[in-house]
Amino acid sequence: MSSDSDPSEFQGFAGRTRVFPLPNVVLFPHVIQALHIFEPRYREMTEDALAGDKLITMALLAPGWEPNYEGRPALQPVACLGRIATHHVLPDGRYNLLLLGLKRVRVLEELPAEHNFREALVQVIDDEYPPQGAAERQRIQRQLMDGFRRALPLLPDMQEQVEQFVSSDVSLGILTDILAYSLPLSLDEKLLLLGEANVDRRAAQLADYMLRMKGGNEAGNQKAYPPEFSQN
């Protein structure tokens, strides 16, 4: 099986990562998430990341997180490792960040608290391209793009913005990640797509979700790309 991974990109990554959990964001590789950081523990996390490798793992909180948000509520088992691409420090110590998604990761265990922010041991998950699916990938890629264009609202500026990120020369794996992030899917659907390393299965699942979307009626809920800021 081949993959989109760059072996040199993570040579220095040992699996220990800062964790930024949110209840309403699923980050994917190859996309940019804007973040507004204001909680003291996550300001500390940001300062630590900027002083080091700039890596932060975005994780989705598991259901039932509400009573224990200030503590360490359970995380979903699949997350996305990202790198701070740009940042701006506000006068009161808050941060505005652009976090670039890099890789799917599986959360192996949460580590004992050494900081106010959370840390975990994770395993990088590379995209998988089974050889038996190679002949169909171009057709599936065209199908996904056609479906996505039908789902876009009649906003030429947004369409042009998305098109530059999903040009024909990107791999099917990258395309599925950008579309999965941008489309108005539920958190559960997005999490299933994030957790699927097999690109052919991921593309088929995404195509099924797109077929079940009600035409353009839900298109007003899709994420702009790059997105607006999410707050912690």
Render pLDDT for 193-221 as a digit per residue (tens, 0 to 9): 999 999 999 999 999 998 887 554 444 44
Residue at 180 is within a domain: yes
Question: Which residue in 136, 148, 208, 124 sits closest to 172, CA to CA?
Answer: 136
175 and 108 co-located in one domain: no
17 and 117 co-located in one domain: yes
The pLDDT score that the predictor gives to residue 228 is 54
Residue at 231 is within a domain: no
Q: How many domains does the chain have?
A: 2
In this structure, the number of other CB atoms found within 10 A of the CB of residue 49 comes to 23
HSE-up of residue 77 (Cα within 13 Å, Cβ side):
5
Please report, for the domain that includes residue 66, its CATH number: 2.30.130.40
What b/e readout covers 133-162, taking b as 16+ CB neighbours within 10 angstroms? beeebeebbebbbebbeebbeeeeebeeeb
181 and 113 co-located in one domain: no
58 and 97 co-located in one domain: yes
Q: pLDDT tens, 50-81? A: 999 999 999 999 999 988 888 899 999 999 99
The SS3 call for residue 218 is coil
pLDDT(11) > 80: no
Q: pLDDT tens, 167-203? A: 557 899 999 999 999 888 999 999 999 999 999 999 9
33 and 75 co-located in one domain: yes
72 and 160 co-located in one domain: no
13 and 96 co-located in one domain: yes
Residue at 147 is within a domain: yes
65 and 11 co-located in one domain: yes
The pLDDT score that the predictor gives to residue 142 is 87
Residue at 68 is within a domain: yes
**H helices of 108-171, where?**
137-151, 156-163
Structural domain boundaries enclosing 161: 135-221
Question: Mean pLDDT throughout 139-148?
Answer: 86
Question: Which residue in 101, 78, 123, 102 sits closest to 6, CA to CA?
Answer: 102
Distance CA 157, CA 154 (A): 9
Contacts for 211-219 with beta carbons within 8 Å, 24 or more apart? 211/147, 213/151, 213/183, 213/184, 215/150, 215/151, 216/150, 216/151, 216/152, 216/153, 218/151, 218/184, 219/151, 219/152, 219/153, 219/184
